[in-house]
Amino acid sequence: MPPTSPPGAREDDCLFCKIVAGEVPADVVLETEQVLAFRDINPQAPTHVLVVPRAHHPHAAATAGADPAAMAALVAAAAEIARLDGHEDYRLVFNTGAGVGQTVFHTHLHVLAGRPMTWPPG
């Protein structure tokens, strides 16, 4: 994992911090006090939304350790996004580390729905 600033601090070179700050445009679908959700630019399903905490943490485990309420807010937002898009069934995915596909090191939850999904993924 890349080095990080103090927990929750904004990272100046973090794409998702820039999206949260409104410096980089995104197709925002939901905003709360704790999270921002926007459509993925490379969707893997008809509904593919990224839900990010407003505070910067490099991955889900770091967020869970520093702010468990933020993790609950991510999952609650994901449920609302699925409902708004008309889905009862959906998949939630956290990638933690480059070896499993994390490319932006700011916690983000993928909400995927709208097509059949197999198990195991990948």
3-state SS, one letter per residue, for 2-64: CCCCCCECCCCCCHHHHHHCCCCCCCEEEECCCEEEEECCCCCCCEEEEEEECCECCCHHHHH
- Annotated catalytic residue 108: yes
User: Which residue out of 57, 59, 87, 108 is catalytically annotated?
Assistant: 108
Give long-range contacts, CB 8 A cutoff, 24+ apart: 25-28: none
Q: Looking at the annotation, which residues are catalytic?
A: 108
